[in-house]
């Protein structure tokens, strides 16, 4: 078979694997949190069971809901799943690498967030309005930090195209420079914020004082809720993949062979699992911050990116 055809097939396969593995990474994070809190916890495969269970259930839709509420989960899932096609996972290739830009990823995440917010507001629920307003505040704070981090990365690696960026990072002999290190600090804070983890949000709570994402999706059930939960897992794994492939690109396959692709997949799985466990462990060591303290943490990300830019020009 032609090498180009095999590369295209592998490119689509790695994106599908990322989508399929995302609930497993979520299950690993929940298991680590449970073990760290001296609990047994559910199986790492529990997110798969939950998605299958929800897919079999009927939807309960408020009589106040319009078409926005009904279509928001589908738009959300489509935007996040499209993002998975744009990034290299365990080989330096993606099916749409020419348009696979970090700015496009941010745009797709923004589109998913926008429709989720509209879905939360559409039912005229007090909880939905509460979660949507909090989500809009957080996104207005996170996105400037994310753009500054991307600017720092583009200065160091010479591109915002994800494939080019990862390829440049993997070819550098000295990857950890002061500029890149500060960009990593900023990226780590942003990943936790975008994924809705502690101290920004607590995905395991239904207490109205702390809910953000959960408040927006409180009215959903059945298949629509399954799509939202799955898309959130995919988004989490995409963020982890971007971080580990940009800042730790070791092991990613640069050629198409059984050995290199197998090693690349195994190394990716280990890096993603270890990073997920690290984030879950950190979550058990911090508490949910008050809403108006969150800007202080995001300021750290912004300041870290700006310091990285200064170090680049020194």
- What is the per-residue pLDDT across 192-242, written as a single tens digit (0 to 9) for each? 888 888 778 777 766 656 677 788 888 899 999 999 999 999 999 999 999
pLDDT above 80 for 162: yes
Q: What is the pLDDT of residue 1?
A: 53
| Token pair for 149 | 């981090």
Q: What is the pLDDT of residue 3?
A: 58
Mean pLDDT, the chain, rounded, equals 88
Name the percent of the chain lying above pLDDT 90: 49
Q: What is the pLDDT of residue 210?
A: 64
Q: What is the average pLDDT across 270-289?
A: 89
Give the model's confidence band at 2: pLDDT under 50 very low, under 70 low, under 90 confident, else very high.
low
Q: Is the peptide bond before 199 cis (omega within 30 degrees of 0)?
A: yes
- Kindly give, in sequence order, each residue whose CB lies less than 8 Å from that of residue 244, ignoring residues fewer than 6 positions away: 268, 271, 272, 275
Using CA atoms, how far residue 107 sits from 243, 284, 299, in Å, is 18, 31, 22
CB atoms within 10 A of CB 153: 27
Give the model's confidence band at 126: pLDDT under 50 very low, under 70 low, under 90 confident, else very high.
confident
User: Which one is predicted more confidently, 207 or 66?
Assistant: 66
Q: What is the pLDDT of residue 28?
A: 95
| CB burial of residue 135 (10 Å; 0-12, 13-18, 19+) | buried
Q: What is the pLDDT of residue 186?
A: 92
pLDDT above 80 for 103: yes
Q: What is the pLDDT of residue 98?
A: 79
Q: What is the average pLDDT across 109-116?
A: 93
Give the model's confidence band at 8: pLDDT under 50 very low, under 70 low, under 90 confident, else very high.
confident
Q: What is the pLDDT of residue 83?
A: 94
């Amino acid at each position: 078979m032609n090498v180009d055809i095999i590369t295209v097939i592998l490119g689509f396969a790695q994106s599908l694997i990322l989508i399929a593995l995302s609930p497993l990474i979520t299950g690993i994070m929940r298991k680590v949190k449970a073990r760290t809190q001296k609990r047994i916890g559910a199986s790492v495969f529990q997110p798969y069971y939950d998605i299958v269970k929800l897919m079999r259930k009927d939807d309960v839709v408020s009589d106040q809901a319009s078409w926005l509420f009904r279509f928001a989960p589908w738009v959300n899932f489509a935007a996040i799943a499209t993002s998975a096609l744009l990034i290299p996972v365990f080989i330096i290739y993606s099916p749409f690498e020419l348009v696979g830009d970090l700015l496009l990823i941010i745009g797709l995440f923004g589109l998913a967030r926008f429709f989720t917010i509209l879905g939360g507001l559409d039912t005229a629920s007090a909880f939905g309005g509460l979660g949507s307003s909090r989500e809009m505040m957080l996104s207005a704070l996170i996105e400037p930090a994310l753009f500054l981090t991307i600017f720092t990365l583009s200065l160091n690696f010479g591109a915002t195209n994800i494939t080019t960026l990862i390829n440049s990072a993997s070819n550098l002999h000295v990857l950890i420079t002061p500029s890149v290190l500060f960009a990593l600090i900023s990226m780590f804070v942003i990943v936790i914020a975008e994924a809705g983890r502690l101290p920004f949000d607590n995905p395991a709570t239904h207490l109205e004082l702390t809910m953000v994402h959960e408040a927006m999706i409180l009215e959903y059930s059945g298949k629509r809720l399954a799509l939202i939960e799955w898309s959130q897992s995919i988004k989490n794994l995409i963020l982890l993949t971007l971080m580990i492939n940009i800042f730790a690109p070791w092991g990613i396959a640069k050629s198409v062979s059984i050995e290199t692709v197998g090693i690349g997949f195994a190394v990716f799985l280990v890096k993603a699992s270890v990073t997920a466990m690290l984030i879950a462990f950190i979550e058990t060591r911090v508490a949910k911050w008050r809403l108006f303290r969150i800007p202080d943490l995001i300021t750290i990300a912004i300041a870290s990116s700006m310091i990285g830019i200064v170090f680049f020009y020194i």
